[in-house]
Amino acid sequence: MRITDFYCPHCNKYKKRFQVKTRAGTEGFYCKRCGCKLIETEKFLNTLIMGYKGYVGSIELSKGDSLFCGKVLGIPALISYEGKTVAALVEDFHNAVDDYLAWEMDEKEKTDEKT
C-alpha cells in the first residue's frame, strides 16, 4: 500500500499526488510549495541517502570500480560524486553541493547584471 507518492528534498516532506504540480515533458513532478523536483517515494525508499545544506544525495556502490558513488537528487542539474571510502564520498558530496551553490550564485549575479 502506497501512503505517499513523492518526497521533496528541499521541504523535507512527503507529498501525496494531489500536492504536486507537473511540468511539460518527461521532467517529472514538482513541489507546489517550493518548485523543487520531487523524488518518487518507491525509488527514494530503495536508495541510501545523505543530506547537506538542504540537498539530498544518493549513496550507491559501483561494483566494477569498487567505489562509492552518488548524485544530488531533486535538482535539474546532474551532479555526481564518488569516493573510495564513505568518508571520501561524503567529502566529495559536500564539495559538489558547495560548487553547485557557488555556480547558482554566479548565475544569479550574471542575471542581475543583465537587468
Note whether 56 and 98 are same-domain residues. Answer: yes
pLDDT at 8: 76
Same domain, 95 and 76: yes
* Cβ-based neighbours of 84, under 8 Å, separated by 6 or more: 66, 67, 68
Given this model, what pLDDT does residue 19 score? 63
Q: Answer yes or no: do 77 and 105 share one domain.
A: yes
Q: Which residue has the higher pLDDT, 53 or 23?
A: 53
**Other Cβ atoms closer than 10 A to 83:** 16
Host domain of residue 18:
1-46
Q: Are residues 96 and 107 in the same domain?
A: yes
Higher pLDDT, 111 or 85: 85
Residues 79, 24: one domain?
no
The per-residue pLDDT for 25 is: 45
Specify whether 114 is located in the same domain as 85.
yes
Total number of domains constituting the chain: 2
Q: Are residues 1 and 40 in the same domain?
A: yes
Indicate the average pLDDT of the chain. 79
Rounded to two decimals, what is the model's pTM?
A: 0.63
